[in-house]
Amino acid sequence: MNLLALSSVLVYGDTPYVVRGGQEDYKSIFYSDQNLALTKPISIIGGFGVLKAGTVMGIITESTNRSGYYVPYTIEEGNFPGAGYQNSYPGLTYVTDDLAVAKSVSVTMSDSYRFAVGDHLASTDSDGTATDLGAITAIDRTTYSHIAVLTVTNNAAAATVAKGAAVWHQTATSDPYTCAKGILLSSVDTGEGEHAKGAQATLVLSHAILYKGRLTGYCSDAATDLSSSDDGKYVILK
């Protein structure tokens, strides 16, 4: 073996370290017998990273090519939480610049790969009401190295980064442009950035009692959409 040639391809300078908390224990979301639940297979678009079991999901209603695909549910405008809630509502894509009355939205480069030309978006911040941005007509990933600019059909309403200005895929065709359709059965990795490919998954629709504390994006608005009821620490999907 040529040790000199071998040494030329080795990478030096790695420092030993331990990452604590790198593995997460994804517990079952079911209190009832999982086998009795009514479920269906779904396709989720890419770009949302790892979605945990128990994530509330919505279905894309307005898109040239991606109607029928699923995305994480986004809370309704009256209860919109503002900045810093992307972990609670992974369907939110926070903008990088304040929204003005204009047909453009800036997002991080990585987040831009959640979107495609033809997808219909909505926007708001914690003070505003949901605005129908219409379809994306262009995505500019070349002008800037760190952000992408989405050109949309309709003018955005004024919204500020400080108040959590964000956009999301429309999962309802009218205000508030968001609707919950079911609960993600198992954790899946949808990928991030330009290599995101999406995921195949299973959606829980009904006939189940779930642990409320293990759900992501569940709120009173989602409960109304799902016709579910709360019973202490449990959520009943009828």
Q: List, for residues 41-95, the tens digit of each pLDDT value.
A: 999 999 999 999 999 999 999 888 999 999 999 987 667 666 655 568 899 999 9
* 228 located within any domain: yes
pLDDT at 19 over 90: no
* 177 located within any domain: yes
* 14 located within any domain: no
Owning domain of residue 91: 34-237
pLDDT per residue as tens digits for the range 141-154: 999 999 999 999 99
pLDDT at 10 over 50: no
Distances (CA, A) of 179 to 8, 46, 139, 203, 215: 56, 19, 25, 15, 16
Domain total in the chain = 1
* 28 located within any domain: no
CB atoms within 10 A of CB 142: 8
* 13 located within any domain: no
Q: What whole-number distance in Å separates Cα of residue 136 and Cα of residue 172?
A: 16
Bridge partners, 120 (sequence order): 135
Cβ–Cβ under 8 Å, residues 21 and 36? no
pTM for the whole structure: 0.86
* 158 located within any domain: yes
* 11 located within any domain: no
* 63 located within any domain: yes
Which residue stretches of 98-238 are H helix? Answer: 109-112, 220-226
Which of 15-24, 31-40, 169-178 bottoms out in mean pLDDT, i.e. has the lowest? 15-24
Q: What whole-number distance in Å separates Cα of residue 138 and Cα of residue 133?
A: 13
Q: What counts of helices (H) and strands (E) characterise the chain?
A: 3, 16
Structure tokens at 207: 């006939």
